[in-house]
A and B are shown apart, each in its own frame.
Chain A
């Protein structure tokens, strides 16, 4: 097992035309990692999962979360470890949780740091 692949959601702002390429690149990176036996953690902005930012950032964040679920589902038998972690702007808060998630046997999990997501839909 090598180093964990950490994919941090890039900010697209209003550049929605980039969504296809960024998701495709993420897919390729994630595939390469899991086939090498590496764990994957995708770090997302929780606000984008709820659509509180731009259209492009929301589409990208939820698209990446979909990828995490697809990889975890398909990788259940071979033991791929693919998870998502969210923050709300202060990404430094997630580093400890990121290490814990990367080192665990969990897969297909969405860990939402903080409490501001409570009372809102589960993405």
Chain B
């Protein structure tokens, strides 16, 4: 059953991985763009995030602590999203983890965990929300420049590349009712980037034509654009936000 977007100014936006730095910035930006929010994370700290964004923006921001690797978790998000009765206008699949390791050393369990969280869980939630997605709604999947290939991250590369396929298939399946796109950032100033040794990070940044690491707000701006009517003719695409890294030597 399709529902129409009318319950709030620009409707409900669901953001996963919302307790993290990038998820928080994406959520805050969508609130600035007059979306009410349902913020999802495995980390209970997502409740504090929701409170802060609600206080700062004046929008409704609810938290849902859920494990999206299970059907029960996805169903819990769907129930929470349906409570307002207005449907979902924006879904941002941002939840993700890393378990880096060279191919020769990577544990199978770590490979599977990353694919399950980053890719399969995004499919599970998106399909669970299918009937709640309003006409004209937008789904944005957080892929990565690493989807083009990266060293020491075979699991992450496979998961983020898979998200691009997911994006294309859903875009075709749901057109013209729902637009589905992906954002593929490179190094962004988050704890994930700073988890690598400082000298490695410096070396990677030196290869970025833009000359610096990307900012969470810059990624949030792309998400906000793809979520907005300004992007009404864009679907099935992956926007690479990498400061030029993907074309550099």
Q: Which residues of A contact B (CB under 8 A)?
A: 16-17, 19-21, 23-24, 27-28, 31, 34-35, 48-67, 69-75, 108, 121, 123
Contact = CB atoms under 8 A, between A and B. Distances in A.
Given A48-B169, A67-B161, 10 more contacts: A20-B115, A24-B108, A27-B158, A31-B104, A48-B165, A58-B166, A62-B162, A66-B147, A70-B103, A70-B153
Given A16-B127, A27-B155, A66-B162, A58 B119 contact: no
Contacts of B164: 62, 123
Given A66-B147, A69-B149, A70-B103, A59 B108 contact: no
B162 A23 contact: yes
Interface of B: 102-104, 106, 108, 111-112, 115-116, 119-120, 123-124, 127, 147-155, 157-173, 236-237
Contacts of A52: 169, 172
Contact of A16 (B104, B124, B159): B124
Contacts of A70: 103, 149-150, 153-154, 157-158
The 7 closest A-B pairs by CB, nearest first: A51-B168, A66-B161, A62-B165, A63-B162, A69-B149, A58-B169, A51-B169
Contacts, number: 134
Nearest to A14: B127
A78 to B, nearest CB: 9
Secondary structure at chain B's binding surface: helix, strand, loop or mixed?
A: helix
Given A66-B158, A67-B157, A74-B151, A60 B108 contact: no
Given A27-B111, A69-B148, A51 B165 contact: yes
B138 to A, nearest CB: 16
Given A20-B119, A51-B169, A51-B236, A63 B161 contact: yes
A73 B151 contact: yes
Given A21-B112, A51-B170, A59 B163 contact: yes
